[in-house]
Structures are given as C-alpha cells and as structure tokens.
Structure 1
Amino acid sequence: MLNTIVSDEHQPMMREFWDISTLSERLKDTDSVVIEYKTRADSWNMARFIAKKRDLAGNVLNALYVVRKIDKEKQKEIEYKQKLMETAKEARRANMAKTDFLRRMSHDIRTPINGIQGMITVAEHFPDSLQKQEECREKIKEASGFLLDLVNSILDMNKLESGVIVLERTPFDLKDVLHESLEIARMNADFRGVKVSVDHSKIKHCHLVGSPLHLKQILQNIDGNAIKYNREGGSVSFSAAEIACANGVVTYKFVCSDTGRGMSKEFLSHAFEPFAQENASARTAYMGTGLGLPIAKQLVEMMGGTIEVESEKNVGTTFTTTIPFEIDTDYEEAITYEKSDEDGDVTDVKVLLVEDNELNMEIAEFLLENAGMEVTAVFNGKEAVDVFASSEENYFDLILMDIMMPIMDGLTATRTIRAMKRRDAKKIPIFAMTANAFLDDMEKSRKAGMNEHLSKPLDESQMMSVIRRYVAN
C-alpha cells in the first residue's frame, strides 16, 4: 500500500509514521500526531493518528487513523511562502539599492565639495595672482554647478517616483523654449569643441499650452548628454518638427543626434534606468549622475509623449522625443498684456528684503545694493509685516520674501500684507526668494499673493531682469 500510494520522496518518513511499535510512545503526551505527504498522483494528503483509549498509565490502547486531501490548503501555503520569499527578495533588493544609492551619492556629493574646498585652499596660496584667483573661481563655479544639478536631479527623481510632480498648463512660445535650451547647449558645445546644427524650419504652431519648464528640462537633459559625451571636433544636430495637428492638439517630434561615444546594444535596454552608466568612468570624466535620461523619460510620459533612442558604440546616438501640446487659441489676447523692461534703471529702488539666513541675506543684499537699490533688511515674516505696516504708503517699491522662516513664514507674511487696508499693500510687487523650487511651491507662492518666484541659488541676471520688469524707473 505504501509503495502504491505515497510518492517515493515521502516513503521513508511515512514508514516511520505508520510504525505501530512506536505509536504509543509518540501519543503518550499528546492527543494526536500529524504528517503531510505527497501521493503518486501528485496531490497532498494529511494523515493523523488520534488517541481513542488509554490504560491507567496513559498508554494508548487504540487509535483512529484519519486521512484527508489538503491540496487547496497546500496550494495556499505554497503561494504564501512564495510571497514571503518574493517580499524578502524585494526587501534585499531595496536594501541593496539604498546602499548603492547612498554610496553613489556619497561619491557624487563629496567630489564637487572636495573640488570647492580644494580650490579655496589653492587660491589662499596665491593671494597676489589674479590669474590663479580667476582659475580657482571658475573651477569652484563648475563644481558648485554640478552639485546643484545633482541635488535638483535627486529631488526631481524623488518627486517623480512619489507621484507629486505637478505639470504646468501655461501658454508658451515653443521657439522661445527651444532658443533658451539651445543657448545653454551652444555654450557647452563651444567649450568642448563640438559643432552644433539646428533645424526648426518645420515649426508651424509655436504658441502652445503645456509645461514649458518641464519641456526645457527634457531638452536640456538630452541635449546636454549629446554634448557632454561627444568627442572633440564632433557634432550635434537638433531639430523640431510638427508631425500632426488635429482638434486643437499639435504633436511635435524633437530629434537630437550626435557623433559621440554611443552605447552598446546590451546597454540600450538600461539607458533609462536611474544611475545607469555603461562606463563607470563617466561619473568622474564627464561628471555624470545617470539621472538625466530617466527624469526626461518620466516627464515625457507624464506629458503624454514617447522617447526612443538608437545608438551605436563609438558612432553616435539619436534620441527621438514626441510630445503633444494644446494650441494656444488665446495667444492674440494674451500678447496684449505682455511687458518687458530689461534695460530699465533700478537706482534708488527701495527694497524690503526678508531673509532669516545671514549668509543668504549678505548675498542678496550685495546683489541689490550693487545695482543701486536701497535695502531694508529684516529676518522673519513678522518683522516684515511690522516694518511694512509702519512705513509710509508707497515707501517700498518691492518686497523680496523668503518662504521658510521662524516666527512667521513668508506665505503668511505675504497674505497678511495683502490684507492690509492701504492701497500699496495690494499693488506692491512681492517676490518669493526661496530654496523651495518645485512647481507646487510656485503655486503656493502665487496663491499667497506673490508676483514672482525666484529660486535659490539666486541667478543675478535672472533676478535683476525680473526686478526691472516690475520696478525699473
């Protein structure tokens, strides 16, 4: 019976289970003994000996033998164990990914910081050499710029993966976005000895509605890689072409082709994975993080588009990005309100500067006073409200407001000022000047009553351009 019913692998243990000579001992201190076994028919059974009658010493005199099929229970158990194993594997993968992330970030953050501190040390050894001082400053700017890009990329990836990235829906001029992106690309290309060619002849509708900030980020990530990983004397071509237009929606195809180092066929399937780099030397030789392409891909897909890549090792790479946009049918009306005063004089413009960090205060104060403005500095939102409330009407021309401050934050201070019963409280320009740089932060600033949102680190030319647009004489 044993040989005909029980599977070969479970026969040894079943022989022990059915051994009547040991059964009384096994049931001495328990009511039953149980075993699970597999049959030759590939199903699972549960066998049980249950003590039915004992003598005065507690020895079993007779027992009931019960067998039942447990295929369903066994399947659930197997599935549960598989889930446990998968969960454990996922936890190990997550832990490895976390460790790898921290290792990469430690390297990528420490490298530029080491460069910044090192160049400061070098500069201190050549206090009388203007040339050396300039060289050190340029290298410090380059290292700090990489550090800023890294921080922005990490924050972008975190927001994308947590699903809290907010796309804009704002009117924009496609040609302006392309021009701004290409200006940066051309500067980097000139520095690296790479030739650039552009074809925008197939742009028909340029006044669109969408997320220009994220479009620019996509293009800069792709274009930047094409130049960064190119060879000296190489070339990059950019093109934008309208490929479809229907029901108020236009679809554009953006193509970026380069003659750079290219990617192998094996690596192409990993090109859009976070931190993926075919050659580890790219992290040091090109100061790459491996985050640009995955960020671009996720943004493109959020905008309803697609991104594809073709590449050949040591020949070059082509990225093709397709994105739909709404056509801005209100453009003619919107253009009426457009104003610009980039060259205006800001001398004697009175600014209320609100900043709780002394170093940031010193920087902003220098930039403003260097342009000829008069600065009144306060260190929190409550002080800003009190100073503005006690000032003569129309004394201040502009308020630059940090957001995260003690006692009273910048958003609360702005709402408090806007609610004051004096005419200048409603019309005075208030700019957010903050390290909170995401679109939802900008939206909060606007809802609080702020006119503009300047992100730290402050870009002097951008800041002065925005200030002139509002308060230039």
Structure 2
Amino acid sequence: MKSKIRWNLSGLLLVVLILMEGVIWAAFTKVDKEGLHTVIEETNSFSKLRIQEYEDYSANDRVKSLVRLLDKTTELSSSMKKLGHYTKQDLDEYVETQRLTGVLVLDENLNAVLQDTSGSAEESLWGEMLGKDYIKEILEHPEETYTERLSLGDDSYDVAVVPRQDADGLVFAYEKKDKNITGDISLASVFADFPVSMNGIIVVSREDDIVSTNDVSLLGHQVSGLKATYEISTDRKNGWIVGRSAENKIWYGGKEKTGEYTIYVFFPSAQIFMTRYSACGLYTAAAILIYLLILLVQSNMERSALKQSQKRMRIINALGTAYSSIILFDLASGKIELIKQSATDDVVLESELYSKESQRKHIQETIKEEYCEQFEQFTDMETVAERLKGHRLLTNTIQMKNGLWLLSVLVPQRVDKDGTITAVLLANQNVTTEKEKELKQEYALRNALAAAEHANKAKTNFLNSMSHDIRTPMNAVIGFTALASTHMDNKELVLEYLKKINISSRHLLSLINDVLDMSRIESGIVRLEEVKVHLPDVFHDLRSIIQGNISAKQQELYIDTQNVVHEDIITDKLRLNQVLLNIVSNAMKFTPVGGMINIRVSEHPCSRAGYASYTFSVRDNGVGMSPEFQEHIFDAFTREQTATRSGIPGTGLGMAISKNIVNMMGGTITVNSEAGKGSEFIVAIECQITGDTVKYKPVPELQGARALVVDDDANTCMSVCKMLRDIEMLADWTTSGKEAVLRAKEACEMKKEFKVYIIDWQMPDMNGIETVRRIRRVIGADTPIIILTAYDWSDIAEEAKEAGVTAFVSKPLFMSELRAALTHQTLDPDAEDEAETAEAARRYRHAGKKVLLVEDNELNQEIATAILEEAGLSVDVVEDGTDAVVRMGSADESQYDVILMDIQMPKMDGYTATKEIRTLSSNKKANIPIIAMTANAFEEDKKKAFEAGMNAHIAKPINIDVILEVFDQVFADQE
C-alpha cells in the first residue's frame, strides 16, 4: 500500500514536475521573446543613429564637394577672362588638373562653344541641366550661380553653373560621384565588422539592394533573393520575420523603414532562446535531484534563484553593451539599483545620492555648470513618470567637467495595472567622439555660411556705396540743370550753373571711371595720380557738390582758411576730394536740420624741403559717437547702431576708404567726438609745392588803404585781415553787422574812410545784404563792397546788387582769390576788355586747323563737330576706319592737320585704321598726328593706342580745353 501511495505520489510529483517544466518553458519563452523585442528595438535605434550619422556626413560632404566644384568653375570663368582667348587645349589641361569629369562652355543662346576632350560627354546630363528654369535666370542675372547634385540612372553628378566673365553665356562643369561613397566613409562600411549582441546580423537595403551589413558575404545581394533562399515568412502574431537557412538554422528578426532605407535585424533562435533552454535544462536537473533527494529541494531552489539572477544579468548586459552605466529607479519604493557602472562615468548616482540635495551636490561636482540645471531636471524622479507619458524614452546630452560628452536615456521599465510607471531605467552612453565630430561639422558649416554671407554682404555694400557716391554729384547735376532752365534770361547766372554742372559732371565721370576699372578693384590696387592742383579749385568744387544737400537740410556751412601761403600743390585731386567728400557727407548725414558744419584748411611749416603741411578739419555739432565706436570708426562696414542713426543710409565703407587713401598719401586721419555734441575729423598730409613761394604784390590803387572785414566768425576775420595786411592794406574787423555800420559812420566822420568792405552774407544779428544796404546809406555808391559767402548766391544776386554789393567771393577765401577780387574792383573797363580779348585769343589759338573726325555715332559726330567749330577748327567727318583710310589715301598732303580717331567702329576699328594710314606712301600723310578720342579710357587702352601708332589719347566725353591742350603738345612735337 505504501509502495502504491509512494508510486502515486511519485507519479503525481512527476506530473507536477512535467507541468511545471511546461510552465517554465512557456514562461521563459515569453521572457526571451520580450527580450528579443527589446533587442530588436535597441538595435534598430542604433542602426538608425548610424544611418543618420552617415546621412549627416554625406550631406556635409556633398556641400563641401559642391562648394569646391563652384570654386573651380568660378576660377575657370575668371581664367577665361584673363587669358582672353581660351582654347580647347587650355580647357583640357584645366579639367585634368582639377580632376573634373567634364566642362561645357555655352554662349548666350546656350549653344556649346567649347568642350573638353579629356572625358566622355554626358549628353543626358546636359539636357537635364539646360532644361531647368534657373539657367535662364543666371543668364539674366550674371551675379547668380548654381550648384546641384543630380542622379541619372545609377550615376550621381555634382554640377556647377556660373556666368562667363569673358562674354555672355555660361560655364557648366560636372564631376561624377560614387553614389555610395562619401569622403572616407561608404554606406557599405557603416556596419562592417560591428559585433551585434547575440551574434545578430544587421542588413540595410535601399529598395531591393543590400547596401550595408555586418556580414560581408551578404553585400551585393538582393533582399528578394535572400527571402527565397532562406524561406523567409512573417509571424503575424508577434510581428517577427522568421527564416530558415540551408543548414536548418532558424532566425528571428524584424524590419523597420527609415527614410529611403529598410533595416533588417536577425538573430539565431539558439541565441534568442538560450535562456529558455538553459532554464529548462537546469530545471530538469533540479527536478531529478528533487525527485531523488527531496531533502535537497531548498538547495536546488536557491540554485534556481541564482540562475535566474544570472540570466537577468545576461539579458541586461546584452541590452546594455552600448551604455557605460545603467541604473534602475524604483519609483514606488524610492530605491535604486546600480546595474552597471563604468569607472570613467562620473555621473552615475550611488544609492546614498538618491536624495535631491545629495544628487544636486554630486551633479554640481561632476557636470559643467551650464548643464547642471538641465540634468537635474532631467533626472528628477518625482516628475519623470509624468514626463514619460506618451514617450518611449527621454534623452538628454550633457558635458562633464572632464570634457566627456554623455547621452543619457530614461526608459520606462515597469508599470502598474493602472498604467502608471513605477520603475525607470537611466542609461548613460559616452558619445564624446560623435559629439566632437558633430560640433566640428557644425563649425565647418557655420564658417562656410559666414564666408558666403560675408561675400554677399561685401558685394551688396559695394553696390550701395557706389550708388551713394554717384548720386551725390548726380543730384548736383540735376538740381543745377533745373535751376538753369528757370533762369534762361539771366546769362551770368546760367553760366554759373553750367560751371557747377561741369564740376559735378567731371567728378561723376571720375567716379564712373574708377568703378569701371575692374582690374584695380579686383586686385585692390589704387594708384595715386599726382598732378598739379590748385587748392582753391578743390574746395570750390567740394562746395558746389554739397551745396544742394546743405540747403535742403538748412544747415549752416562755414568754410575758411588759415595761413595758406602755397595754393598750388602736387597731389591726387580726385582722391583728396573723395576723402573730404566722404567726411563732409557723413557730417551732413549725422547733423540734424539747422545744424552747423565747419570746414577749415590751414598750412603749417614742413621740415621737408619743397613741401608744406596741410591740415583739413571738418567739424559738426551732430549726434557724435561713443568712445567705443571711435575705436572702430575706420573699420570697413562699421556703423554705430544707435536710435539716433536709425534710417540714415550708408554702408560703413566711407571712413575705411578715406583712411586707406590718407595712408597712401603718407598722412594721418584722426577723430574727436562726443555723443550728442558732434564730431571733428582732422586730415593731415604733406604735399609738394609747385615752384617758389608766391609773394603777392599790393594792389596799387589800394596800397595803404583801410579795409573793414565783417564776419561773425572771428577766425575768418583774422585770416582775411592777415591776407589784406600781406598786400599792404590797413585791415580792421568786427563780428557784428550793426557794429560794422557804426564803424563806417565813424570812419566817415573822421575822414578816414574804408576803401574796401568785405562782409559775410550769413550773420546772426544782421545779414550781409542788410548790412551793405545800411553802409551804402553812409558811404555812398563808389566804395567796393564784397560779399563773402559759403553758399550759392544766385538767389540773392539781384537783391544784393540793388543793396549795393559790387562783387561776390566764395568761401574759403584764398589770397589769390582775394587779390583778384580787389584788382577786379579797381580795373577800368578797357583793362577788362583786354583780358577778355586775351582769353578769346587763347581759346582760338588753333583756329583754322583742319580736322578729320572718324566717328560712327551720329550724336557724337554732332557734338564733336559743334565743339571743334566753336574753337575755330575746320571739321570733316567719316563714319568708319575704312572710310578714313580711303579718305587719307585720296586726300592732298595738306588737306588735314590732325585726325581724331574713334576706336570701336563696325567695319574697321581705330587701331587697324591707324596702322593702315601709317603705311601710306606719302611721308607727310603717313605721319599725320592721330589722336584717339574714345570711351575706352583705361590705362591699357592708352597703351594700345600708342602701340598702334597714335600720338595721343583723349577720353570721352570730350572737353575742348583738353583737346586744345593735346593739340598744343602734338603740334609742338611736330615742330
């Protein structure tokens, strides 16, 4: 009976053991499947990260490749311009040197004019590119360029299109790229030799092609072929992909789509269910032991528990191979479990650091300050459950004080029956290498963007600057033209306006010539053209240019001189005028309506023999500058960003240009300024003087005579009085118009009358016109009264003459102008007639000369003929170089004295025509003076003219004074 009971008990125990083994089998199968899901998810996440890194690296490499190709293409376009005639051999050599696949040079109609022969032509690529809309946009906007990476079939090309610099058209260059290779990284190498947990295999495909895997034997295959070979099917219940190999090995895995790639992850079933097999084997052994020795049940249970712990650790280790430390937080109990820790991971929290205060202290000791608050919030276990709702995980990247970068991941681990998270896993991964690479790539991209933005800004600022510089004299031209049209009945006034229009036009022409001289702009070389300059002309030209803007803003303008003895100097007039105009323009812009601008030129002794020191000062009472900005005022593209300057146009280039010009002149430029009180710019240069120091003789009729100077600026009064004393007059001065009237009365009563009055127009108590009117009541009509002004006097000329003004003189007043004005006041009419006769004789000194004008433009023919005939010259006109050669061949030897030759003509240009004329059989006709008169005004054009056999060069627009001076030189050389 006992044996039967024992057998029944044994059978029951065996059944129980079998059932328990089935339960264990099912339980561990579930655990392993869950582990498989987790491993697949982690591996997919890692694979996505690797693919994303490759895509980022590929994008960066593509940008750099396109930038390099654009640079090469732009360089090719520039080389074509420099060489002038670019041959096919030149193009082949450039393509080979720069390792390009091909180059196509197109004209404005997109027809190929030049193509390299180093590689095969890509006809389909050309067709793809030339059909795009932006090709036409680049033709219409030569400042634009285009780059793109195109895919044609299995091939990939980098393409760059830039405008031709030597002619209208495009330069189209391309470079064939390996579709799967970016720099030193290929997509196939992304997972090569990478050990996946549980001996798994990663396969990445693009469409049906396997492009990357850690199993090199699979590269080059197609996914569809593998499915058939390995009998791959889908386990719909679990969402897995199941496959059986030829060796009857079963694999489990999954796939996930990311962008254009599909990721397949497979693991061998033996590895996946290793825990299940181990557990069941261990349990069977334990069951046998239990069956044989019930007394060892406790021991076997402990051993089973130990095995289970080891199995869990293996699973966690398998999941945590990518992480340096892992911590499990039990939110319900407030306990933590340190699962894995790296010796180099300072951020790992030990159990005693679970309190907020201890945790905060540890974070501050190990993490960089700027990341402390962010990491403290990230690891706040009181809020983590709420933050994880709706998220699979939370990530955060920080930098340690030791320089390492860590990627921290918070993952839910357990949830209760209500779905509340009760435990989370904190895993830290060392991503220093990846982060440094990312930062390096970001830095490179920022630099590339900054360089592109800087180039674009520099181009925009240059155009804006030229617009501003050109508009200033253009404003004067338009304004004085309008004034002249409204005063046609006043010949003297119209002549004065035309003189100012001429001054502004010449300044505008100089600016245009400077802008068009691209060789100087591109090379950054500006040459000083030092010539004889009459200093009064510089300031009167400057005053004429700025007068319109001064009047528009109702500003007060003061211009005076101090101790200027040498009025004729050697310098670059255009550059000096550009410096002064830049400074004065800024003063006008940053001085409010009704403000004051003071311009002063003074001369000082110089230690260099034959030189004099000049100081040019421009002072205003405008908005001024802060001390910080004054340190950068001469930097390019620099403007002070203050509310007071809002809306004021400018590029920030004017002062930098002025500084460079002054430095080239060997001078200095300084600034004194205070915010809200104004600024003063001081330019100091040393200039060579021309000839000996001029000693102005007294005016005989005024020698020893008294003169009264009236100006509200004491410095001007003293300066003018010194000039008067230098020509032996007795000068006195006052700063008040009312006092000037009293002084005139006093002089008459004492019989010591003033023989000359010099009165400023704009004075605060009584203006110059009213002062003259009252003085005339006292002294009568015979005494000369000269109005001194920095403004345009045309609007008050009639009123001034009615009040008794006998002459006007512009500020600043120089000695030569003062003496000329005084002499003019004492000249009799016969002397004036003689001066006019002498001037007319000088202007008609070449009258009667016979000129052959070669010009194809009818309007230019009409203008040139009228100008030449007004100077007494006889003019014949032909329309082309061929006509000029025929005319000279058939003309008498004495029929023409000189030829004015245009350069660009439709049938035969001026150079060729000159060479043909120089070969005529008649020695006199072959050596006739030929002068180039053309819009080709650059130095290389002058050189070409002389090389062709011409005697001189005149740049359009033509000026009769220039023509007559050239005639003087040419005819003098012949004599």
Alignment match, 2:967: 467
SS at match of 1:308: strand
SS at match of 1:392: coil
- The answer to whether the aligner puts 1:348 opposite 2:848 as a matched pair is yes
- The answer to whether the aligner puts 1:316 opposite 2:680 as a matched pair is yes
Q: 1:145 to 1:465 in 2, by over 3 A?
A: closer
Q: 1:23 aligns with which of 32, 35, 39?
A: 39
SS at match of 1:194: strand
Given that 1:398 and 1:430 are in contact with CA atoms closer than 8 Å, whether structure 2 keeps it comes out as yes
Given that 1:126 and 1:133 are in contact with CA atoms closer than 8 Å, whether structure 2 keeps it comes out as yes
Alignment match, 2:895: 395
How far residue 411 of structure 1 moved from its aligned partner, in angstroms, is 3.0
Gapped regions of structure 1 (runs ≥ 5): 1-18, 38-45, 207-211, 325-340
- The answer to whether the aligner puts 1:369 opposite 2:869 as a matched pair is yes
**CA distance in 1 between partners of 2:472 and 2:616 (Å):** 30
Alignment match, 2:617: 257
Q: Which amino acid aligns with 1:320?
A: A
Alignment match, 2:402: none
**CA distance in 2 between partners of 1:77 and 1:387 (Å):** 77
Gapped regions of structure 2 (runs ≥ 5): 1-34, 54-189, 202-249, 254-265, 273-317, 324-428, 548-556, 589-594, 689-840
Given that 1:351 and 1:398 are in contact with CA atoms closer than 8 Å, whether structure 2 keeps it comes out as yes
Alignment match, 2:267: 60
Q: Which amino acid aligns with 1:372?
A: G
The range that moved more, 262-271 or 23-32, is 23-32
Q: 2:196 aligns with which of 47, 50, 56?
A: 50
Alignment match, 1:216: 573
Q: Which amino acid aligns with 2:633?
A: H
- The answer to whether the aligner puts 1:236 opposite 2:635 as a matched pair is no
- The answer to whether the aligner puts 1:151 opposite 2:512 as a matched pair is yes
Q: 1:374 to 1:258 in 2, by over 3 A?
A: same
Q: 1:127 to 1:88 in 2, by over 3 A?
A: same
**CA distance in 2 between partners of 1:142 and 1:343 (Å):** 20
Alignment match, 2:907: 407
Q: 1:380 to 1:454 in 2, by over 3 A?
A: same
The range that moved more, 434-443 or 61-70, is 61-70
Q: 1:403 to 1:242 in 2, by over 3 A?
A: farther
- The answer to whether the aligner puts 1:447 opposite 2:947 as a matched pair is yes
Q: 2:632 aligns with which of 255, 260, 269?
A: 269
Q: Which amino acid aligns with 1:457?
A: P
Q: 1:196 aligns with which of 529, 536, 561?
A: 561
Given that 1:414 and 1:430 are in contact with CA atoms closer than 8 Å, whether structure 2 keeps it comes out as yes
**CA distance in 1 between partners of 2:466 and 2:597 (Å):** 32
**CA distance in 1 between partners of 2:647 and 2:931 (Å):** 39
Alignment match, 1:381: 881
Q: Which amino acid aligns with 1:180?
A: H
How far residue 160 of structure 1 moved from its aligned partner, in angstroms, is 4.0
Q: Which amino acid aligns with 1:24?
A: I
How far residue 402 of structure 1 moved from its aligned partner, in angstroms, is 2.5
**CA distance in 2 between partners of 1:140 and 1:304 (Å):** 29
Q: Which amino acid aligns with 2:38?
A: T
Q: Which amino acid aligns with 1:216?
A: K
Q: Which amino acid aligns with 1:439?
A: E
Q: What do the CA deviations read for 1:159-200 (whole angstroms, capped 9, x no partner)? A: 54311747479xx7xxx62x4354332565698762234657
Q: 1:77 to 1:445 in 2, by over 3 A?
A: farther
How far residue 317 of structure 1 moved from its aligned partner, in angstroms, is 2.3
**CA distance in 2 between partners of 1:104 and 1:78 (Å):** 37
How far residue 367 of structure 1 moved from its aligned partner, in angstroms, is 1.0
How far residue 374 of structure 1 moved from its aligned partner, in angstroms, is 1.2
SS at match of 1:353: strand
Q: 1:226 to 1:297 in 2, by over 3 A?
A: closer
**CA distance in 2 between partners of 1:140 and 1:291 (Å):** 27
Pairing of 1:82-161 with structure 2 (within 5 A): 82-99=443-460, 102=463, 137=498, 141=502, 144=505, 147-155=508-516, 159-161=519-521
Give the CA RMSD over aligned residues: 5.3
- The answer to whether the aligner puts 1:429 opposite 2:792 as a matched pair is no
Q: Which amino acid aligns with 1:87?
A: A
How far residue 218 of structure 1 moved from its aligned partner, in angstroms, is 2.8
Q: What do the CA deviations read for 1:210-250 (whole angstroms, capped 9, x no partner)? A: xx77x3333333355577759989452244876569xxxx9
SS at match of 2:846: coil
Alignment match, 2:752: none
Given that 2:252 and 2:267 are in contact with CA atoms closer than 8 Å, whether structure 1 keeps it comes out as no
How far residue 371 of structure 1 moved from its aligned partner, in angstroms, is 0.8
Given that 1:237 and 1:258 are in contact with CA atoms closer than 8 Å, whether structure 2 keeps it comes out as no
Q: What do the CA deviations read for 1:116-139 (whole angstroms, capped 9, x no partner)? A: 668767877887676886687567
| Greater gyration radius | 2
Given that 1:226 and 1:236 are in contact with CA atoms closer than 8 Å, whether structure 2 keeps it comes out as no
- How many equivalent pairs are there? 407
Q: What do the CA deviations read for 1:403-425 (whole angstroms, capped 9, x no partner)? A: 33333333333344334454235
Q: 1:22 to 1:198 in 2, by over 3 A?
A: farther
How far residue 350 of structure 1 moved from its aligned partner, in angstroms, is 1.3
Pairing of 1:285-364 with structure 2 (within 5 A): 294-299=656-661, 305=666, 307-312=668-673, 314=678, 316-321=680-685, 345-364=845-864
Alignment match, 1:180: 534
Greater relative contact order (CA < 8 Å, ≥ 6 in sequence): 1
Q: What do the CA deviations read for 1:302-328 (whole angstroms, capped 9, x no partner)? A: x5846432334646321134799xxxx
**CA distance in 1 between partners of 2:491 and 2:543 (Å):** 27
Alignment match, 2:233: none
The range that moved more, 263-272 or 86-95, is 263-272
Q: What do the CA deviations read for 1:378-426 (whole angstroms, capped 9, x no partner)? A: 2333333332333233432112222333333333333443344542356
Q: 1:103 to 1:221 in 2, by over 3 A?
A: closer
How far residue 56 of structure 1 moved from its aligned partner, in angstroms, is 3.7
Q: 1:410 to 1:319 in 2, by over 3 A?
A: same
Q: Which amino acid aligns with 2:196?
A: I
Given that 1:194 and 1:227 are in contact with CA atoms closer than 8 Å, whether structure 2 keeps it comes out as no
TM-score if structure 2 supplies the norm length?
0.34
Given that 2:599 and 2:616 are in contact with CA atoms closer than 8 Å, whether structure 1 keeps it comes out as no
Given that 1:350 and 1:397 are in contact with CA atoms closer than 8 Å, whether structure 2 keeps it comes out as yes
**CA distance in 1 between partners of 2:868 and 2:847 (Å):** 10
Q: 1:299 to 1:120 in 2, by over 3 A?
A: closer
Q: What do the CA deviations read for 1:102-154 (whole angstroms, capped 9, x no partner)? A: 55656766787687668767877887676886687567556645643543453
Alignment match, 1:162: 522
SS at match of 1:469: helix
**CA distance in 2 between partners of 1:72 and 1:421 (Å):** 85
Given that 2:932 and 2:953 are in contact with CA atoms closer than 8 Å, whether structure 1 keeps it comes out as yes
How far residue 94 of structure 1 moved from its aligned partner, in angstroms, is 3.5
Q: 1:53 to 1:115 in 2, by over 3 A?
A: same
**CA distance in 1 between partners of 2:492 and 2:48 (Å):** 91
**CA distance in 1 between partners of 2:638 and 2:854 (Å):** 38
- The answer to whether the aligner puts 1:458 opposite 2:458 as a matched pair is no
Q: 1:197 to 1:422 in 2, by over 3 A?
A: farther
Q: Which amino acid aligns with 2:959?
A: D
Q: What do the CA deviations read for 1:351-391 (whole angstroms, capped 9, x no partner)? A: 12222332222221111111111112223333333323332
Q: Which amino acid aligns with 2:267?
A: V
Q: 1:384 to 1:34 in 2, by over 3 A?
A: same
